Amino acid sequence: MKSPRLTALTLFIAVLVLSACAQVTEAEKARNQARTTGKYKVRLTEDSESVAGTCKFVRSINGDFDFSGPQTQAKIMDYFREEAVYYGADTVVVKDRVGEAYICGPGPLNPDGTLRTLAQPPPTPPPK
């Protein structure tokens, strides 16, 4: 006969696994939205003066340190756009193979390119 503790532990682990799968699915959905629609809302520029003092820095993006491998020169600009919109930025300052993502508009973007409301938390990257 199974003890109540073992049954409770099994149930807890099952809920934990299902929760993790739901988070991974949402992160994959956000990545797909960034890849297909959101990237067209991101502005690329080489002029770092245009963001100085007026935009909020989000993060640095380096195409050489991606988990899928270094980005080719042909795909690097799309990579910058996809990563920037995934993290909510609407502008990327490009310097060679490194980009700096900024929020210059009224607020952060959703991965699909729409304006994020305050009720939505930023997306969490999927576990690798």
Query: pLDDT digit of tens for each residue in the chain (128 aa)?
Result: 567 776 777 777 777 676 666 666 777 888 888 888 888 889 999 999 999 989 999 999 998 888 778 888 888 999 999 999 999 999 999 998 999 999 998 889 888 888 887 666 666 776 66
Asked whether residue 80 is assigned to any structural domain, the reply reads yes
Asked whether residue 82 is assigned to any structural domain, the reply reads yes
User: 84 with 92: CB under 8 angstroms?
Assistant: yes
Asked whether residue 128 is assigned to any structural domain, the reply reads no
User: 62 with 98: CB under 8 angstroms?
Assistant: yes
What's the rounded Cα separation, in Å, for the pair 79 and 98?
11
What type of residue sits at position 56? K
Asked whether residue 125 is assigned to any structural domain, the reply reads no
Asked whether residue 115 is assigned to any structural domain, the reply reads no
**Number of domains comprising the chain:** 1
What's the rounded Cα separation, in Å, for the pair 36 and 69?
20
User: 90 with 41: CB under 8 angstroms?
Assistant: yes
Identify the pLDDT of residue 94.
94
What's the rounded Cα separation, in Å, for the pair 61 and 79?
9
- DSSP helix/strand/coil, 119: coil
Expressed as residue numbers, the domain containing 97 is: 4-103
- Rounded to 5°, the CA angle 95-92-124 comes to 120
